[in-house]
Structure 1
């Protein structure tokens, strides 16, 4: 009887052998014995039988599960396991030396792993399936001193007299040291960069305080049973735990007061979890303790079915089977079946690597491996082959795509990537600090970015190739609290007790605030003007509505399977614009019904690719795909378009009734040429960093582009030598444009990165036009001061005013006001000159002004088919792809 009063009963036969156990819920497991009192059969609570057979020495020679899968074992003369064969017939063989050390393990694929030993039976060499050797040395008392990998990298260990590990030196020579108390407990770790962490223990050896590299303390308290009662983070935020009499967690109380509750059944399985918002998920179990049903907080029931050995064979949601699985004798999934009955299959080698994966359309991908089971080659369903090569430590040294283009890699002794060289010999180089963090990266053009970190590993400084740097600052919980960019402009961040960002303030003191519910869902965003947008969620923490500060609302609905079933946008008055969606049992979209009732329908192949789409006008478009599900044809009432691809998936041609467009690519899959239907070609070139250097048009004229070391455009030059040059600040923002006629355009920005001044300067250095901007706390333009706009007009000041949704509601130009109004969907209703009306799909249906009313008519697909204006009517027709064809 446990601490909660739950009783487990045991029954014995007259020989004292246990023949039955019955748990607190009445589920019984029965045991049968052979004549030698060995367990011959176990029968679980669902009548699943496991049968055991023994040899004359009492050793298990076979175990047959309830599905009939039989594992077998053989032994050598000394009783050591010689072979193990799983239920799928895969056999592993073991050989030993005379004293029982395992010498060779031969797996079901025939690959061998070997071990050699010294005189005290300690492993001194391990040889993997590819023949790569790892060697070990020991001190006189058998402690590991060195481990030398297959490429000669050495990890070294030292110890104190008590046998505690004092230091570990990695293959690059970085040393981590440890300090112990008198009880042999590690109390301090000194990292290779000199940073330290500390641990404090109570009298029972439990960690009560831990200090990170910056001195931040995490404190833990315990109850009498050793359960954690509280954990307090470095900022003083406390999480508390409560337990039942079986030491199972019943309540977690977070620093913000939110609580998660757990209840259990008599067998100790979780029966209900209630989150911080009071949303409960309930569980039931079968007689073997496996999850039978899961009822989520919105009442959707998911039911799980199992075979006799516990493999999940079906998942049913609200009465609909959405997935089935089948297994081989080694319990590996060999078939998955979706809710429509479409099946995909897998084939495995003897150790569980997938050899062939066949999708629901019957398209197969094949895989081959080396003797260490690194993936060597993947052959896709179209015959494309990608491959990888590895070094002796199993690290990828080259990866070759389906077009034969290879990327190669080199590593340091610790396995960090030193260089990555692409198929055109472009190289990215990395260096690392003593903690294995990237210290510098040099790109393919030779530009270097360096990184420095604080003791806790947070990025503190990032310096670019121009020696401009950005700085990061953190709080005691390692949350970013200030970012200062390369222009010395900063943004500060504040967090709540759950480490959620609650405020973002820029250098101009413009702030955006965030609010959350107890479950961590973001419930509000408050902009710099104190306008609040509100978000609500359902019991599964899915977004169900968002409402702006003017009351405009957008709602979401979900079906039992988690698909978006509908959306509703609220317009003016009581108008509701609802869009609904329907899906099949595999989650494919079948229909989309617009707010005005027009329907778009879809059909799909077994993999979920769209085969046909019938739009609201009844126009059908049909699609076909290759075996990699790249679209190869699109057919509609206007004809058929076809598409071709290279083995790496780049589209090489597109053909329709107008002709063929061909595309050429380099080894990095960058477009190098486009040949149009008329046979003319446009060519492209790139630098090593994939910046486009030139475009050469069919007439031979070229536009060239130059870049700075950060990849920003520095200049663009046309074929006639004219062009634009760009000067940028440290953040890459354009501060000056130089034009071929000697004139310039200059730009200034505020600390928030918003444009404050645009000035056009003539060749003779006189200001031709200048516009100055100011902004409100939400980043909206509130004034525009124009000078020299044109020769006959005086300078003018324009002011802008906004509503709570940051929609423009008034402009004032030199004292003249223009007002604007909107409906709740954000559609413009009036602009001081015209009034506008819209349908439920937010399409403009009328515009009324001093000259009369213009009406707009649409077809079911939303195409404008008629515009009736006071001065005449224009009608429009469209192609099958709803592209404008005529207007008259």
Structure 2
């Protein structure tokens, strides 16, 4: 979709314990792949680390008094009659499930004030104009549905229930209003859904995707079909429980008709206290647990005007209201946001402010059919909506249109892309659904389609019964099929490749039962995962917390310890090395202590922005500054006195949040069109012409886009350019690079068709002109039933010029590789064997033995004999003759490397690697606002030409002359390079990764060995089915730039998020 308001530059947000695996292994506030500066010698003195803000649960805090049963009288929302500013909408009030809250079908304009959306979401419904805010008051992590309490605000609110007027507690506006023929479900956001009685059952309204059941004991259950979550009420409609599909969750306790406690599945509770006036509760006083509370204060007419969240590690908020009790301003931690409304309580203006900065204003204008939004730069976009306030058409600031249609159930049925602008036909992506509103298929404009089947039938003859909202079979665009089985609760128990002639591989899972006797957990917690090679990992729990993960030997177990509120305080890795964690009251990690006693100290603002990190190992501190939108404006690295590696990078932004300048090493200026698309970048000392090609030696690079916002051309100094053409699904079909004279220097074509059928995956690649490959050679790709690459065959006419053949075991370990012809590497076959932990045990090319440590890090390569060592932070400390120094945990932020007497110092910004110093020879990189490498500067500047994966095909010089190119094997081994001048010294190559040594790439958290097609470290995120396999063994279509998550390279071409999800 279009980027209507810009803001394409990431800001720092809260890092909490629930993201601990990433934080502990990869570090905080650093995008994947970032490298950074370090001293050229030993630290002279450690930088003084600020004292960490550590909050621990108070053992002497009074226990929460758990409430009892809810009232027996009928629950009612106590709806207000429209009056004052609401009178204007009385003639056409919102329907039962429309306008208020967040139903999942609305489109919102979002605004940032603090934290992330999980802490506080502030957004305007672009259809109805309703201001919706949901702010977390308290939370306790636990199994199943965790204990959490929110306060909610709707500018068009008509629900009177609650004790923090004009806001509402989410649990006080969750209930059932029951009559003999209808029951209205209020979902806690302000939205409501009317169920109609039909005999002894209740018919669900469109869009809710849930069922209503009256149980045998008179209680009621709303069951969400797609998630399995249950919301349970007493016979009178009062909220009593929320549970996951396994029946594990939270219980609400009452006293005198008000909620006084929320208790999770292991007995931890949040308490609510009230101010009492004449014996009756009239307002909420505080919410919290374990000694950290959110406290509320009220003005003379009973409106909540202050919220003190300092006890919970967050800001002290102040609010003001107009005469109609509508929120006018809200501020805290030095920032504020203000709202203006029309007579129908629709937001017409939002102003974001901070002392010393220019305010940022977004405005809204409404018609009978839609809304026009004026962004902070003064440019307008518009939305057309249907009678349910669902967006049917979007027109961006350039006048480009996209449209979508909806099913009766409020699911997106079709999207028509930006080529419909000006009356064009547009390209249509279509979704299908069954009678239960399960999504059964997605079809791209070019014809590739995926299917999901939820019951027995053609293509799914062996499906189990039950769980009608869980897919039993899937069929991908290549015709490969998978079947899934579930337990009675709907937990996935097995996934099997059922493709005819396929791998027949199965992964399976077991879970804890309600008895808690399998692995010590709560119902539905995973007890074991068995991979396709039948190797099992087991999990052990205590008190709802995971305390031990036992992978297959020879990997060692990982142990976890927790505090009283469920935060991880200690992790002991497979090498038996322990790391401990301390937190502030908002659950942000403030102190990490490693096994050797070294520490990393983090300081946060109350709003959740990281302001400093200090690492005792190197005596280095990194400090950060931000603007009113939470964008990072400064990143300052401070080393010990005399170390010589301190570095400061500054960032400037326009009012829409677009990065417009960077200062310091590689200082760059960026320009945008009215739709917030990058149109040009240049060194701060360079220049860009307003029209025509960039001048030679100007440093200017220009960009053009199609109607869907996809890049079509990148124009370099002197007029050299990279042109990209695409098919109707937005996928690149040809990438051509021409020099300043218009002569083609690199030219690659792509085809996704097999026979006459469209496929998602790349089927052919034509090297019209590519380094070291015969002109016009065509590479054909074959895949197995798990979509793993099995063969790449390159033909020059009828002659096979080169080929690569791969086989895998069922767990995606490569068992053989055969190279033949002009591959750039030794021809022949190498076979591989593996141990139970998916680690290489031996190969047919071995010169020595393979070795790994207990945490899964490869310590010796059996083919080359190269060794590696690792530190207490699971970071690489040495590889071969090179030693490394890193900042923080893991490998993300590498500071320097030393090989013999040669020292390389690396410099970074929040965009990634921006420079290095190799013994006085300086290199800097220019990056786009989203971190893509654009140019390299050594003595002079050179500009990257890249393929669909981001692999560098070649480089142009300052005047538009071709400097040479590269080609690669399917898994990224260098095949050919001109290796003259900058082509030989450039490190950014395959998939845009940083090549540290021949065919060894630093990809974020891990190192990737292209000769093996796998990582040399265990997956730190635990997200991949095989912890070492690269890109799911599908390197022609996917990559893993972070070392923690596979990215399908073509996803950025699919504008519709559901398409990405279904195809991935």
Q: Secondary structure at the match of 1:227?
A: strand
Q: Do 2:427 and 2:728's aligned partners in 1 also have CA atoms closer than 8 Å?
A: yes
Q: How does 1:351-370 map to 2 (within 5 A)?
A: 351-361=409-419, 362-370=426-434
Question: In structure 2, how many angstroms separate the alpha carbons of the residues matched to 1:780 and 1:332?
Answer: 44
Q: Secondary structure at the match of 1:704?
A: strand
The equivalent residue for 1:397 is: 472
| Equivalent of residue 712 in structure 1, options 839, 844, 855 | 839
The equivalent residue for 2:292 is: 237
Question: In structure 1, how many angstroms separate the alpha carbons of the residues matched to 2:563 and 2:966?
Answer: 55
Give the number of equivalent residue pairs: 681
- The CA deviation at 1:707 is 1.7
Q: How does 1:446-525 map to 2 (within 5 A)?
A: 446-455=534-543, 457-466=544-553, 468-525=556-613
Distance 1:552 1:273, change over 3 A: same
The equivalent residue for 2:273 is: 221
Q: Secondary structure at the match of 1:266?
A: coil
| Equivalent of residue 561 in structure 1, options 656, 671, 678 | 656
- The CA deviation at 1:461 is 1.3
In the alignment, structure 1 residue 282 sits paired with structure 2 residue 338 = yes
- The CA deviation at 1:312 is 4.5
The equivalent residue for 1:689 is: 811
Distance 1:210 1:632, change over 3 A: closer
Question: In structure 2, how many angstroms separate the alpha carbons of the residues matched to 1:148 and 1:537?
Answer: 43
Question: In structure 1, how many angstroms separate the alpha carbons of the residues matched to 2:300 and 2:966?
Answer: 68
In the alignment, structure 1 residue 725 sits paired with structure 2 residue 849 = yes
Q: Secondary structure at the match of 2:719?
A: coil
Distance 1:547 1:205, change over 3 A: same
- The CA deviation at 1:471 is 1.2
CA deviation map 1:593-638 (0-9, x unaligned): 1233121111100111111111123202221101111111123334
The equivalent residue for 1:791 is: none
CA deviation map 1:485-515 (0-9, x unaligned): 1222110000112221101111110111001
Distance 1:830 1:673, change over 3 A: closer
The structure whose RCO (Cα within 8 Å, separation 6+) is larger is: 2
Q: Do 1:128 and 1:372's aligned partners in 2 also have CA atoms closer than 8 Å?
A: no
Q: How does 1:53-132 map to 2 (within 5 A)?
A: 117=199, 122-123=200-201
Q: How does 1:5-404 map to 2 (within 5 A)?
A: 23=84, 29=88, 117=199, 122-123=200-201, 143=218, 204-208=256-260, 212=264, 216=268, 218-224=270-276, 225-234=281-290, 236-253=291-308, 254-255=310-311, 256=313, 258-276=315-333, 278-297=334-353, 298-308=358-368, 312-318=370-376, 320-329=378-387, 331-361=389-419, 362-391=426-455, 393-404=468-479
Q: Do 2:840 and 2:850's aligned partners in 1 also have CA atoms closer than 8 Å?
A: yes
Distance 1:30 1:671, change over 3 A: closer
Distance 1:22 1:546, change over 3 A: same
Q: Do 1:617 and 1:861's aligned partners in 2 also have CA atoms closer than 8 Å?
A: no
Question: In structure 1, how many angstroms separate the alpha carbons of the residues matched to 2:307 and 2:842?
Answer: 60
Q: Secondary structure at the match of 2:638?
A: coil
- The CA deviation at 1:283 is 1.1
CA deviation map 1:421-451 (0-9, x unaligned): 1343211111111211111111111011111
Q: Do 2:306 and 2:318's aligned partners in 1 also have CA atoms closer than 8 Å?
A: yes
- The CA deviation at 1:303 is 0.6
Distance 1:531 1:418, change over 3 A: same
Question: In structure 1, how many angstroms separate the alpha carbons of the residues matched to 2:340 and 2:212?
Answer: 51
Q: Do 2:377 and 2:655's aligned partners in 1 also have CA atoms closer than 8 Å?
A: no
Q: Do 1:508 and 1:751's aligned partners in 2 also have CA atoms closer than 8 Å?
A: yes
Question: In structure 1, how many angstroms separate the alpha carbons of the residues matched to 2:327 and 2:205?
Answer: 43
Question: In structure 2, how many angstroms separate the alpha carbons of the residues matched to 1:820 and 1:135?
Answer: 64
Distance 1:407 1:114, change over 3 A: farther
- The CA deviation at 1:164 is 12
- The CA deviation at 1:412 is 1.0
In the alignment, structure 1 residue 544 sits paired with structure 2 residue 633 = yes
Distance 1:695 1:249, change over 3 A: same
Distance 1:708 1:265, change over 3 A: same
Which of the two has higher C-alpha Rg? 1
Q: Secondary structure at the match of 1:617?
A: helix
CA deviation map 1:831-851 (0-9, x unaligned): 5xxx66789989xxxxxxxxx
Q: Do 1:876 and 1:884's aligned partners in 2 also have CA atoms closer than 8 Å?
A: no
Distance 1:428 1:128, change over 3 A: farther
Question: In structure 2, how many angstroms separate the alpha carbons of the residues matched to 1:159 and 1:364?
Answer: 46
- Tell me how large the CA RMSD over aligned residues is: 5.0
Distance 1:886 1:823, change over 3 A: closer
The equivalent residue for 1:858 is: 940
Q: Do 1:876 and 1:885's aligned partners in 2 also have CA atoms closer than 8 Å?
A: no
Q: Do 2:441 and 2:450's aligned partners in 1 also have CA atoms closer than 8 Å?
A: yes
Q: Do 1:510 and 1:777's aligned partners in 2 also have CA atoms closer than 8 Å?
A: no
Question: In structure 2, how many angstroms separate the alpha carbons of the residues matched to 1:403 and 1:522?
Answer: 46
Larger helix percent: 2
The equivalent residue for 1:411 is: 486
The equivalent residue for 2:782 is: 664
Distance 1:724 1:248, change over 3 A: farther
In the alignment, structure 1 residue 438 sits paired with structure 2 residue 519 = no
Distance 1:243 1:857, change over 3 A: same
TM-score normalised by L of structure 1: 0.66
Question: In structure 1, how many angstroms separate the alpha carbons of the residues matched to 2:925 and 2:485?
Answer: 60
The equivalent residue for 1:601 is: 702
- The CA deviation at 1:750 is 5.6
TM-score normalised by L of structure 2: 0.56
Q: Do 2:882 and 2:900's aligned partners in 1 also have CA atoms closer than 8 Å?
A: no
The equivalent residue for 1:846 is: none
| Equivalent of residue 426 in structure 1, options 467, 481, 505 | 505
| Equivalent of residue 963 in structure 2, options 860, 866, 878 | 878
- The CA deviation at 1:378 is 2.1
CA deviation map 1:705-755 (0-9, x unaligned): 22222222221223xxx5443233331234566679xxx888776644467
CA deviation map 1:331-352 (0-9, x unaligned): 4432111111111122344454
Q: Is there any run of 5+ residues in structure 1 with no aligned partner, and where?
A: 1-19, 32-40, 45-66, 68-98, 103-112, 177-190, 571-576, 760-770, 782-803, 843-854, 867-874
